[in-house]
């Protein structure tokens, strides 16, 4: 039995992962902004599920969560930093406040969690850090400037941090999914090729976690095509983006 901290556990991939890990017999600290959606899991898995409620944008609340976990379990063996958000920039309406919101949740809140989680991982057994990125970090897409920039920052942060953590015996995995059916993606008003159900995505991740790969990417055909397109010359990538772009008058 391993001790997990899973952020973003109340919906989407996080909710499906939480149930899967608890069914496997692990102890899981369930992270979310409020406890309402997690109460059923806590009641179903008494002694395994620990509520880790708080706003990850607030460093003090993240510290409080880590303290609760430490008092309950003493350490962590695996941390899955899955919480995130997505907003899109509209053509002709550049919004720096939107960029700030997305970066705050996807990058700064992640850094608060890393600072709180690493001491607990250092005290754990065979520690493993898992961070949710996105396939969008490979190829710039129209309207995705805020979300894509945040996930590109996540990729660089994780890949750089991995170098240092390797010397400490902490394995690091970056998860870069394509489109997954979640409350966030249901707000999208554009085609989402090879859309996976959240349950399938969670099972794919959970199945591969024991191998501790450097990356988990899916679905393979989508990722393969995306990375081929990302290797095109800059001008061809621009032309592709222009074909996909939504113009202001539309």
Distance CA 143, CA 221 (A): 23
Q: What is the set of active-site residues?
A: 147
Neighbours of 157 (CB within 10 A): 17
pLDDT the model gives residue 222: 95
Residue 10 corresponds to which tokens in the numbers above?
A: 């109340």
Distance CA 3, CA 94 (A): 43
pLDDT the model gives residue 102: 98
Of 32 and 250, the structure prediction assigns the larger pLDDT to 32
Mean pLDDT of 185-210: 94
Which domains, ranges and CATH numbers included, belong to the chain? 3-244 (3.40.50.720)
Strand 215-218 to 171-177 pairing: parallel
> For residues 193-229, b (16+ Cβ closer than 10 Å) or e, as one string?
eeebebbbbbebbbeebeeeeeebbbbeebbeebeee
Give per-residue pLDDT as tens, 19-67: 999 999 999 999 999 888 899 999 999 999 999 999 999 999 999 999 9
Of 26, 16, 129, 118, which is closest to residue 75 (Cα–Cα)?
118
Q: Own/partner pairs for 191-195, CB < 8 Å, 24+ apart? A: 193/222, 194/219, 194/221, 194/222
Mean pLDDT of 62-75: 98
């Amino acid at each position: 039995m391993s001790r997990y901290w899973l952020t973003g556990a109340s919906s989407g991939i996080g909710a499906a992962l939480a149930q899967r890990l608890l069914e496997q017999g692990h102890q899981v600290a369930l992270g979310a902004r409020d406890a309402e959606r997690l109460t059923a899991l806590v009641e179903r898995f008494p002694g395994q599920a620990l509520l880790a409620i708080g706003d990850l944008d607030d460093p003090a609340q993240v510290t409080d969560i880590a303290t609760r976990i430490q008092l309950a379990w003493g350490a962590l063996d695996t941390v899955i930093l899955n919480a995130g958000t997505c907003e899109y920039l509209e053509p002709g309406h550049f919004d720096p406040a939107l960029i700030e919101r997305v970066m705050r949740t996807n990058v700064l809140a992640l850094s608060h969690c890393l600072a709180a989680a690493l001491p607990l991982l250092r005290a754990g057994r065979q520690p493993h850090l898992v961070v949710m990125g996105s396939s969008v970090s490979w190829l710039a897409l129209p309207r995705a400037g805020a979300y894509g920039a945040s996930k590109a920052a996540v990729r660089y942060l994780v890949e750089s941090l991995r170098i240092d953590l390797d010397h400490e015996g902490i394995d690091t995995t970056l998860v870069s999914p394509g489109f997954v059916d979640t409350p966030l993606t249901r707000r999208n008003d554009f085609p989402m090729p090879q859309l996976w159900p959240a349950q399938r995505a969670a099972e794919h991740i959970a199945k591969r976690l024991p191998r501790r790969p450097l990356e988990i990417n899916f679905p393979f055909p989508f990722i393969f095509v995306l990375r081929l397109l990302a290797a095109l010359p800059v001008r061809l990538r621009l032309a592709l983006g222009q074909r996909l772009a939504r113009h202001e008058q539309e």
